[in-house]
């Protein structure tokens, strides 16, 4: 398992990705001052976004149905716990967008190569919904927020 977004597991039999980029921001508000630099005050965490890109080749790795599963999760509008293969919990993430490019279609119109980009944005941890009925508390959050015990 590379990562899981709630019950959706990124791996060789679903979606294998080749790049993950994370951008984290922090908010600092400024106040103008005469004859001096602006005063700045830290006001808390800002946006935390993760972009996952990958290649799906249905005959070799992954399944086209995995893209449909992610679209259904995005359609539900929920936030999902993001966990890596080592057990680090990154927090609650929303699926903001998914881009896919299909090439090498067979006679039935099924693509033999699909490039995809998935964009996730962090939200409040209390917004997590679970696709499973056995969702429990969440733990070991990578950024110190209060998830406790998700596996």
For the record, the structure tokens of 44 come out as 């808390």
Query: Is residue 137 a part of any domain in this protein?
Result: no
pTM of the model as a whole:
0.74
| Residue numbers of the domain that contains 26 | 3-127
Could you tell me what percentage of the chain is helix, strand and coil, using 3-state DSSP and rounding each to the nearest 5?
A: 10, 50, 35
Instruction: Provide the pLDDT confidence category of residue 130 given band limits of 50, 70 and 90.
Output: low
Q: Is residue 142 domain-resident?
A: no
Enumerate the β-bridge partners of residue 82. 5, 91
Residue 141 in domain: no
* Residue 147, domain member (yes or no): no
Asked, for residue 150, whether it belongs to a domain, the answer is: no
User: How many domains does the chain fold into?
Assistant: 1
Residue 10 forms part of a structural domain: yes
Q: At residue 151, does pLDDT exceed 60? A: no
**Domain annotation covers residue 139:** no
**Which CATH number fits the domain that encloses residue 90?**
2.40.30
How far is 130 from 83, CA to CA, in rounded Å?
13
User: What strands, in cross-sheet order, belong to the sheet with 17-31?
Assistant: 8-10, 3-5, 79-84, 89-105, 111-123, 39-56, 17-31
pLDDT tens per residue, range 20-78 = 899 999 999 999 999 999 999 999 888 999 999 988 888 787 788 888 999 999 999 88
The pLDDT of residue 11 is above 50:
yes
């Amino acid at each position: 398992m590379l990562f899981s977004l709630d019950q959706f597991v990124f791996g060789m039999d679903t979606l294998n990705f080749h790049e993950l980029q994370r951008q984290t921001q922090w908010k600092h508000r400024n106040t103008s001052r005469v004859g001096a630099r602006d005063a700045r005050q830290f006001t808390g965490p800002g946006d935390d976004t993760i972009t996952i890109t990958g290649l799906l080749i249905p005959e070799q790795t992954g399944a086209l149905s995995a893209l449909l599963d992610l679209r259904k999760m995005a359609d539900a509008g929920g936030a999902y716990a993001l966990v890596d293969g080592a057990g680090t919990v990154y927090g609650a993430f929303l699926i903001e967008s998914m881009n896919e490019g299909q090439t090498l279609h067979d006679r039935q119109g099924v693509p033999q190569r699909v490039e995809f980009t998935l964009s996730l944005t962090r939200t409040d941890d209390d917004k997590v919904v679970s696709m499973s009925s056995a969702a429990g508390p969440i733990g070991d959050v990578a950024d110190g927020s209060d998830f406790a015990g998700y596996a």
